[in-house]
């Protein structure tokens, strides 16, 4: 039987991004890709990202997070999920441990992430520094300027989308800036084609963004390993960084996604801060039946 059977989980969301938080501290249990896919397929535990919370690795941190997409692959960062983990570690009766001033330091395979409570249901996450060099993102070939890379969708003389910005926020992003509503593009068709494009050796999150003012952006995201999503915190961060580099905005903006709004600031010290809400939908335990096919 899977060691995840009968384990408690929290079902949450951050700006519409469906999150499952699973506490594995005090154990050696690791979620397998097959288990992640089984959890994602169940109506009670369906998620965009699964946040598995483990014991700290680096001294002075509060926990280590492993982040799983619906296809079982791992991600290095998830801003909306990190806010949800912050809430769980500060407020959930079964998970909470004392923390000074409502602040936590969490760790993922992409590095350290600071989380701070702003209000009861709002948290700020320091997403760290964006990675802008082609080999850091990474891209499959050199681009001296990643503000615009050579990639397009559609006929060469009349492309539907072209020249995206490329940014890593612990995971790779390609952002297409457009001058009309992102909803008018068939991202459900375009997204999977571009996610797996050879220019992205680790695949990529694909975004379509419309800058609606000097401090507002409308954004839709096809998330690597998850598909169309109501919100993606790292995509919102990458989009603000990219728009600022192109001088379309300043260094801060409100990003409107289908599931809600996030406030993003690219500070002068090069760190990107994301502020947004968290919502607790409920809790449950994993049925052994979820994993019966895997065990069989």
Q: Which residue numbers are catalytic?
A: 78, 232
Backbone angles phi and psi of 126, in degrees to 5 = -85, 105
Distances 216 to 70, 228, 251, 259 between C-alpha atoms, Å: 30, 21, 11, 16
Residue 96 CA to chain centroid, in angstroms?
23
Ramachandran bin of 146, using left for φ above 0, alpha for ψ from -120 to 50, beta for the remaining angles:
alpha
Q: Are strands 227-229 and 216-223 parallel, antiparallel or unpaired?
A: antiparallel
**What residues have CB less than 8 Å from 106, skipping those under 6 apart?**
61, 62, 63, 64, 65, 82, 85, 86, 112, 113, 114, 115
Please compute, for residue 210, the number of CA atoms within 13 A of its CA located in the half-sphere on the CB side. Answer: 12
Q: For residue 237, which of 156, 173, 192, 147 has the smallest C-alpha distance?
A: 173
């Amino acid at each position: 039987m899977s060691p995840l059977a009968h384990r408690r989980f929290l079902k949450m969301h951050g700006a519409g991004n469906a999150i499952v938080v699973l506490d594995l501290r005090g154990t050696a249990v690791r979620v397998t890709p097959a288990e992640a896919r089984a959890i994602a397929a169940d109506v009670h535990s369906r998620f965009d990202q699964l946040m598995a919370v483990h014991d700290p690795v680096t001294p002075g941190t509060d926990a280590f997070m492993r982040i799983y997409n619906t296809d079982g692959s791992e991600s290095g960062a998830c801003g909306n999920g990190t806010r949800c983990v912050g809430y769980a570690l500060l407020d959930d009766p079964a998970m909470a441990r004392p923390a000074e001033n409502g602040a936590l330091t969490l760790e993922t395979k992409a590095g350290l992430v600071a989380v701070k409570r702003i209000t009861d249901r709002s948290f700020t996450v320091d997403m760290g520094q964006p990675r802008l060099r082609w080999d850091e993102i990474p891209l499959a070939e050199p681009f001296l300027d990643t503000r615009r890379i050579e990639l397009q969708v559609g006929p060469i003389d009349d492309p539907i989308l072209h020249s995206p910005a490329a940014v890593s926020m612990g995971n790779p992003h390609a952002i297409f800036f457009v001058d009309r509503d992102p909803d008018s593009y068939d991202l459900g068709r375009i997204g999977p084609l571009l996610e797996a494009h050879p220019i992205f050796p680790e695949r990529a999150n694909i975004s379509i963004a419309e800058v609606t003012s000097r401090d507002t952006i409308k954004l839709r995201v096809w998330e690597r390993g998850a598909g169309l999503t109501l919100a993606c915190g790292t995509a919102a961060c990458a989009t603000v960084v990219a728009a600022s580099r192109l001088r379309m905005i300043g260094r801060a903006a409100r990003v409107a996604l289908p599931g809600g709004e996030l406030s993003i600031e690219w500070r002068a010290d090069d760190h990107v801060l994301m502020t947004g809400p968290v919502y607790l939908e409920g809790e449950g335990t994993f049925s052994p039946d979820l994993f019966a096919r895997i065990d069989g």
